[in-house]
Structure 1
Amino acid sequence: MLTAHIAALGAALCWAAGGLIAIGPVRAIGSLAFNRLRLAIVGAGLTVAASVMGVWHTLEAEAALRLAASALAGIVMGDLALFWSLSRLGPRRNVVIYATNAPLTALLGWLVLGETLGPTTVLGIGFVTMGVMLAVALRSGNGHAWEAVQGSLLAGVAVCLVAALGQATGSIIAKPAMATGVHPIAAAAVRTVTAAGAMLVLGLLFRERMAAGGSLTPRIALLTAVNGFIGVGMGATLIMVALSYGNAGVVATLSAMSPVLILPMLWALTRQRPGLGAWVGAAIAVAGVGLIVNR
């Protein structure tokens, strides 16, 4: 179980660091083109890594189908809904609402997989979820233009909840596959390649411009690849490791610590100290992690 905890927190750290690296490329080429490019790069890299390591034999047909389905739910549906709601709600509200994926995963794990959680673990999940929400909601910068609601607030909230449900569903679908002994690198490769292919098909179906245009400079391409290696390659692999050993709800909760872990990174980069409310939320989330890990 300790392995699952460390891996899930490691994934959260990768996503926090990857989020900072992603800012420049997303602004330069757009979120969809960025996501498609990094998935393609990382999918190819993970496929090569799994082949060199000789771990494909651990992947049975049923497990491969489950992992592909988890990618469609968690990465494709989840990301598309998340980006749509992001444009409507702004980053702060989006992250707060998306944090509900942790308790949703725990609930689905209980209903679908029969995973049971002790009272201390349930309390810890509640603390982490509440702490993450507070750390984001009380962070300075509420007056920024990005925070203005575009269109219907209710529609934005509903679609963000769909994104959270997609992420939760993806974890629940992948959990039984990882229980069969699939190597995490092979599992991550299947999920990433499936997501990259689905993003490509969706772009063609909706006649979306596939090229990123002149904004895709060598530097932007390099940053996209680095983000993909850290955020998708390492992060996705660590999540597969965590699901191999731990409860899906606990894994989802610990991996949701990214908004808290990013606070000291932002402080170091911007020299702007987060507000007291953000640190209070972070402290509550850390207390929740302590309850989960030391139960």
Structure 2
Amino acid sequence: MESIPYLGEAASLLSAMIWAVSMTFFTAYSKQLRPDQLNLFKHVIASLFLCLGVLIINPPWPEAPEVYLAFFLSGFVGLTLGDTALFAALSRLGAQNTSVSQCAVPPLTAILAFTFLQESLTFWEMLGMAITVIAVFLILSHRSSRSHFTLSKRQLVEGLFFAGVAALGQSSAVVIIRHYLQGTDVILGTTLRILPSLLILLAVTGYKGQLRSLLRFLKANPRGAITLSGVSFMGTFLGLLLMSLGAKYAKAGISSALTSTFPIWIIPVSAVVLKEPVSLRKTVWTVVAVAGIGVMLV
């Protein structure tokens, strides 16, 4: 496959498009299911395909116990807490605003790595962080009175809180397993993160009595069950494979930059599927926010 021109770049770009589609459809169902229910269903579907992938690939398993502990903690922080908060943000802010808020993940990761792992920050990383944070702030602080999709003050405050928790969760999850990523297969590593998270979500939803209502919803809405299964497969499994393919066959900076473009692709997708309004201001600043991530990779 190495002879296929631009294979890595195409895979990275396609993964961003897939995540844009997945996040849009998750937003649609975030109005009908609770965040933890939606996250649980996504975990179930993703776990099935990830376990199948591990069986097919049969990668070497880590020997050190601390590796398993690190992946468990990363899964709890990033997948149990972070993804549940992400779905809560989607139901309040919508797909476009939530995706833009997640542009803060790379800057937050860099700051946490600088603080706890003593990783250095270059001039370009600090400049890119500043560009991204300013762009995200300008998007989320703007409320157009002409838009039928204007958020209430409560929606905005709650949505920003959950978006912040999601971004912090994802950033912390990356920092926790930073030292163990290179020596662990990406499919196996993701499986080690998602299975403990799945068990926690099962316990929580079962304790709160939400498991039956989730099953009732899926039984009464077979089309919704099929759609959610498809986007769970695409977003968690297929998107991950394409991202890994991009990282393998494209330069690291280019691959990361292309993968980070999903907030741009989500604008037209959410406009068609969710009828979210598109403004020139939001589009321009979304591009600027993504460009800031690109500057961090220089």
Which range, TM-score by smaller chain?
0.7 to 0.9
Distance 1:272 1:161 in 2: 22
Unpaired segments ≥5 residues, structure 2:
1-5
Question: What's the counterpart of residue 199 of structure 1?
Answer: 201
The answer on 1:261 being equivalent to 2:235 is no
Residues 26-175 of structure 1: pairs in structure 2 closer than 5 A:
26-55=30-59, 57-60=60-63, 61-84=65-88, 90-91=93-94, 99-134=103-138, 143-144=147-148, 147-150=151-154, 153=157, 157-175=160-178
Residues 231-250 of structure 1: pairs in structure 2 closer than 5 A:
231-236=235-240
One-letter amino acid matched to 2:283 = W
Deviation of 1:75 (Å): 1.1
Alpha carbons 1:135, 1:260 under 8 Å: kept: no
Distance 2:150 2:29 in 1: 18
Question: What's the counterpart of residue 208 of structure 1?
Answer: 210
Question: What's the counterpart of residue 185 of structure 2?
Answer: 183
Unpaired segments ≥5 residues, structure 1:
none
Deviates more, 1:257-266 or 1:270-279: 270-279
Distance 1:135 1:242 in 2: 29
Q: 1:287 aligns with which of 280, 283, 291?
A: 291
Alpha carbons 2:12, 2:243 under 8 Å: kept: yes
Distance 2:7 2:113 in 1: 19
Give CA-to-partner distance per residue, 1:76-104, whole Å, 9 cap, x none.
111333445566x5337655655433322
One-letter amino acid matched to 1:215 = F
Distance 1:144 1:169 in 2: 35
One-letter amino acid matched to 1:184 = V
How high is the TM-score relative to the length of structure 1?
0.77
Distance 1:28 1:271 in 2: 17
One-letter amino acid matched to 2:184 = V
Give aligned pairs, total: 286
Distance 1:83 1:156 in 2: 10
CA separation of 1:27/1:97 partners in 2, compared to 1, >3 Å: closer, same or farther? closer
Q: Identical aligned pairs, as a percentage?
A: 23
Deviation of 1:15 (Å): 2.1
Q: Kindly report the root-mean-square deviation, in angstroms, between the aligned alpha carbons of the 2 structures.
A: 3.9
